[in-house]
Amino acid sequence: MTEEEVQKITDVVCPFCGCLCDDVEIDVANNKVVTTYNACTIGTTKFFSVNETEHRFTKPMLRKNGKFVPISWDEAIERAAKILLNAERPLLYGFSSTSNEAIGEGFKLAEEVGGVLDQTASVCHGPSVLAIQDVGRSAATLGEIRSRANVIVYWGSNPSAAHPRHMSRYSMFVRGFFREKGAKERTLIVVDPRNTDAAKLADIHIKVEQGKDYELVSAMRAALRGIEIPEMVAGIPKKDILEVLEIMKKAYFGVVFFGMGLTQTFGRHRNIDNAINLIRELNSYTKWIISPMRGHYNVTGAGTVWTWQTGYPMSIDFARGYPRYNPGEYCANDILVNGEADAALIIASDPGAHFPAKSIRHLAKIPVIAIEPHITPTTELAELILPPAIVGVETEGTAYRMDHVPIRLRKVVDAPDECLPDEVILERLTQKVRELKK
């Protein structure tokens, strides 16, 4: 292959995790990804995944006698529209690994079919969303954190595994405008019951007892107000708690990044509420902010776009023709476990791999439409497959980084065969539903 045949594409955004690293460079030849630069191993794997079409759906597929057979897009769209229209309580779920444009189209479809619209936050950072709605939060962009932060706390999150470039691009191991010496000027504190890779890098590892985060945050808040705390809280000696608090009080600019170790353990949204209030109180001493470590690359976008459109970020029911919001009643798992959903459209997520067995057992009983490029546990349950182009690799789109900064994703190769962008698939489905309703 000559050098001329290889095209270098710069400023590519990685569509994998909420970091949305926008400094990736990719060499492409003959519509294949040849080399990636700057992406971590997870991001690199995603870019290279488009070279392989053996386990890929490249045409719409209908399950007949237990096997998938290809059908035309017109037939697939009509079948999908009828499934959703004929259902009394269709569920539209996923949306966190697609573009804002597709997320917006998902709302229109849910409204037309009177369905329940939910996204993956309901099983990850949903408690953060609820807590932030309750008490607000002190926030900053990742750029500001990179420039200013000198005390960095990861609480219940392990960026080394889930967001591999987070520490090197935005927090600990990067030089910033006011932190020219990078890590030498920063202190890393990790609060985690496990000896994670991030904990091994930390200056201080607070090995909190599993599920006792609420107690630890409460003790820190009490100590901050001068109240005497017990000798041992959540497995941490009082002297260690006071030592960490002194570091936090003396920070120039501090940040707490929190993950599912805080949102999905005992206490859930009350943990986040409490942690946000700790940060609020620390702001009496110095500048502190708190930020969720969002997983899927556009889970932030799903909540943001639906909030513009309906006022609500997730778990939205359109059964009465207008949006109603009640997490705990309209989350995907609630309506599956309760056996309410009688059809499901799953996009940009894999509940078949991640939902509890009772939800999956119900999914297996109802017609499932999967907008999904690859063979997954969810497609094993599906009756109809609508094959999408992969956003950020095979088609453009906009996504929100974990700090709510919108970033335009680039296309680097053409999608195979008949794959269409999610946005186009959802738009066509909505049009067909409107036609059939006339």
Tell me which residues touch ligand SF4 (CB under 6 A).
14, 16-17, 19-21, 39-40, 42-43, 163-165
Contact 25, 39 (CB under 8 A): no
Strands 316-317 and 287-292: unpaired
DSSP one-letter code for 13 = P
3-state SS assignment for residue 78: helix
Nearer to ligand SF4 (CB atom), residue 38 or residue 218 = 38
Q: What Å distances lie between residue 307 and 301, 310, 311, CA to CA?
A: 10, 5, 4
Residue 415: CB minimum distance to ligand SF4, A: 20
- Judged on CB neighbours under 10 Å (0-12, 13-18, 19+), 225 is exposed
- Closest separation between CB of residue 17 and ligand SF4, Å? 3
Nearer to ligand SF4, 83 or 255 (CB): 255
d(CA 123, CA 117): 14
Q: Residue 146: phi, psi to the nearest 5? A: -60, -40
Query: Least distance in Å: CB of 20 to ligand SF4?
Result: 5
What's the CA gap between 358 and 170, in Å, rounded?
Answer: 39
What ranges make up the beta strands (E) of 14-140? 24-29, 32-37, 61-64, 67-70, 90-94, 116-119
> Quick one: 169 or 212, whose CB is closer to ligand SF4?
169
Place of tokens 């779920």: 93
**For the purposes of burial, counting CB atoms within 10 Å of the CB of 317, is it exposed (0-12), middle (13-18) or buried (19 or more)?**
buried
> How near is the Cβ of 16 to ligand SF4 at its closest, in Å?
4
Q: Phi, psi (5° rounding) for residue 295?
A: -85, -80
Nearer to ligand SF4, 24 or 344 (CB): 24
Using the structure block, give the residue that is written with the tokens 């049009």.
Answer: 431
Of residues 130 and 167, the one with the C-beta less far from ligand SF4: 167
By beta-carbon proximity to ligand SF4, the closer residue of 40 and 241 is 40
How many other β-carbons are positioned within 10 Å of the β-carbon of residue 341? 26
Question: At its nearest, how many Å lie between ligand SF4 and the CB of residue 100?
Answer: 17
Token pair in block for residue 202: 């930390």
Beta partners for residue 260, in sequence order: none
Shortest distance, position 417 Cβ to ligand SF4, whole Å: 26
Residue with Cβ nearer ligand SF4 (22 or 342): 22
Choice between 20 and 219, CB closer to ligand SF4: 20
User: Which pair of tokens denotes residue 378?
Assistant: 């969810």
User: H/E element holding 3?
Assistant: none
Minimum CB separation of residue 35 from ligand SF4 in Å reads 14
Kindly state the smallest distance separating residue 370's Cβ from ligand SF4, in Å: 23
Q: Closest CB to ligand SF4 among 42 and 204? A: 42
420: left (phi over 0), alpha (psi -120 to 50) or beta: beta
CA distance 216 to 82: 52
Amino acid in the structure at residue 197: D
Quote the least distance from Cβ 349 to ligand SF4, whole Å.
17
Q: What 3-state class would DSSP assign to 189?
A: strand
Cβ of residue 42: shortest distance to ligand SF4, in angstroms? 4
What is the spatial distance between Cα 274 and Cα 290, in angstroms, rounded to a whole number? 12
User: Are the CB atoms for 382 and 368 separated by under 8 Å?
Assistant: yes
Min dist CB 43 to ligand SF4, Å, is 3
Nearer to ligand SF4, 42 or 229 (CB): 42
